[in-house]
Amino acid sequence: MFRTLASAIQWFLSRVLVIYIILFIFIISFVDLKAFDMRIKIRRLNNAIPDFSDMIIFSKDPKAKIEVDWKSYQRYFEIIMKYMPDDLVSRQLLGYADYYSGQEQKAIDLLQTSSVLNGQNLFWPNYNLGIIYYKRGMWPQAAQCFLKVVSSSPKLTLFLMENSIVYKQIFASPYFKYSISDEIKDAQSEANILLLSCLYSMRQYDKVILLSNLAITNDLSYKDAFYNYAGLSYFAAGQYQKAFVLFQKSLTIEKNDPETYYYISGIFQKAGQLEQARAFLQISYTLHQKNDPRFPYESQDSLRFF
C-alpha cells in the first residue's frame, strides 16, 4: 500500500502537472494577493476614467451635443459600483448616464436607491427622479421628489460633491468652468418652480400660494416665476385683483416672459377691458415669436448632476 502510494507520488512529481503546484505555492508564498487585487482594482478604475467633457457639455445644454458616448460613463460608474456598492454618488451618476442611454427604469431604480443617506434626502438623485416623473406627467411622485429636493441641505450636497473622487475628476476637466454653489442654487430654484408646476397641475392652489411665498422670501433665482405661480393660483381661484398684483410684480423682475402678459391679458378680458387685453395679448404673442429659450421655466426639465 505504502509502496503504491510512494510510486504514485513519484509518478505524480515526475509529470508536468507539478509545475502547476509550484506555481500555486509560489503565488501563495510570494505574492501579496491583497495588494495585487487592490492594485488591479485601482488600475481598472484608472483605465476606465472617461473624458468628462461631453457629459459636462451635455448636462449644461442637452441640445448642444447630440452624440455622447454614454457607454464609457456607464462602464466607469459600473466598475466603481462593483468595487464600492455603497457609493451613492457613483450610483446617482450611473442613473444619470443610464437615463440618457435609454435605460429609464434602471435609472429610476438607481436614483431611488441613492436618494437617501443616513435619513437625509440627497439633492441630485431626488432632483433627477423628480424630473423623470415630471416628464412622465406623474405629478404627485414628481412633487414628492421636488419637495425632498427643496428641503434637502445644500451644505450636504456641496460637501458630498467636493469630497467625491468622481466629482473631483469632473471638476478637473477643462470644460468645467462653473461655480458649484451657483449651480446648486440654480437647481434649487428650478426644483421650486417644478414643484409649483406639479402642485398647480394637481390643482392644489393653496399649497402653490404658500410655497410661492416661501420661495420668494428665500435666496433663490427666478423669483418672477414664483410670483407668476402665486398669481396663477389666485387667477384659477377667481381672485383676479391679487393675481393682477402678483403678475405685475413678476413683470418688474422679468419683462420678457410671454406667459405673464398672457395671463394679465386674461384678467383684463375678465374685467371687460378688451383694449388692454388685446394690447397685452399682442405683447405676449410678440415675445412668443422671439422664442426665448429661457421660457417657460418648466421646459428646463433635463436631468443634471451639477
Partner 1 sequence: MRSLLDKYLLFIPFILWIFCFRYFLNGHLPLEADALSYAEQITFYTTNLSHGVYPLWSPGWWSGVPYDFFLRRMGDVNPLFSLIVLLKWLGVSSAMAYLIFITMYYFLAGWAFYLITRLLLEDRFYAFSAYVIFLFSSWGCQIFFNYIIIIFVPIIWFFYFLLRFSQEFKKGHLLGMCLCVGIILTTYIPFFFLTILTFFSFFYAVFYFSDLCAFLRRGLGFLANNKIFAVFCIFFLLISCVPGLLFYKESKSGTFVMPSRHSGADAASQVTVGIENVANGDIISHGDFDHIFDDQANMGLGDIYIPYIFFLFLLSAALGKVNKLIFFLLFNVLGVTLITITSAGGLHHFLYEHLIIFKFIRNIYYFFWLAILPMSILLAVIAFRSLLNAIAGSSKKTAWMVFIIISHLLLVVFLCGHQGVLGGAWVAVAVSLIFFLIYIWSDKKISYPAGFLLVFMAVFFQSAQLYATLEKRTSTLQRQVDHQVSTTLQSSGKMDLYYASPWFAVLVNYIDMPVLNAYRGHQFILYDNVFPYADTPEFFKSFQASLSSGSNVAYVSKNETSDADWRNVPDAAAAADVDPVSLGELSLVSHDANTWKVRTHLTNSRFLVINDNYNSDWHAFINGHPARLLRANVSFKGLWVPSGDSQIVLRFSSPKWYLYHFGLIAFFAGTFLYLLLMLRKQRGTYV
Is 20 or 285 the residue whose CB approaches partner 1 more closely?
Answer: 20
Which parts of this chain interact with partner 1 (CB under 8 A)? 13-20, 22-23, 26, 30-33, 35-36, 39-40, 43-44, 47, 51, 53, 174
- For residue 148, the minimal CB distance to partner 1 (Å) is 37
Q: Pick the closer one to partner 1 by CB: 176 or 262.
A: 176
Rounded Cα–Cα distance for residues 87 and 203 (Å):
38
How far, in Å, CA of 290 to CA of 53, rounded?
Answer: 31
Q: Residue 39 Cβ, how far from partner 1 at the closest point, in Å? A: 5
CA angle 208, 192, 221 (to 5 degrees): 120
Least Å distance, CB 14 to partner 1, is 6
Beta bridge partners of 116: 121
Instruction: Select 21 or 214, whichever has its Cβ closest to partner 1.
Output: 21
Q: Which is nearer to partner 1, 51 or 61 (CB)?
A: 51
Minimum CB–partner distance for residue 177 and partner 1 (Å): 11
What is the smallest separation between the CB atom of 19 and partner 1, expressed in angstroms?
A: 5
Q: How far is the CB of 13 from partner 1 (least distance, A)?
A: 8
CB 4 within 8 A of CB 10: no
Closest to partner 1 by CB, 2 vs 30, is 30
What single-letter amino acid sits at 154? P
Q: Which residues contact 249 (CB under 8 A, 6 or more apart)?
A: 224, 227
> In this structure, what C-alpha cell is assigned to residue 33?
494577493
In the Cβ-directed half-sphere of 251, how many Cα atoms lie within 13 Å? Answer: 16
Instruction: Report how far residue 206's alpha carbon sits from residue 210's, in angstroms, rounded to the nearest whole number.
Output: 6
Residue 114 phi, psi dihedral angles, 5° rounding: -115, 10
Q: Which is nearer to partner 1, 76 or 200 (CB)?
A: 76
User: Are the beta carbons of 179 and 167 closer than 8 angstroms?
Assistant: no
Return the closest-CA partner of residue 109 out of 76, 137, 87, 132.
Answer: 132
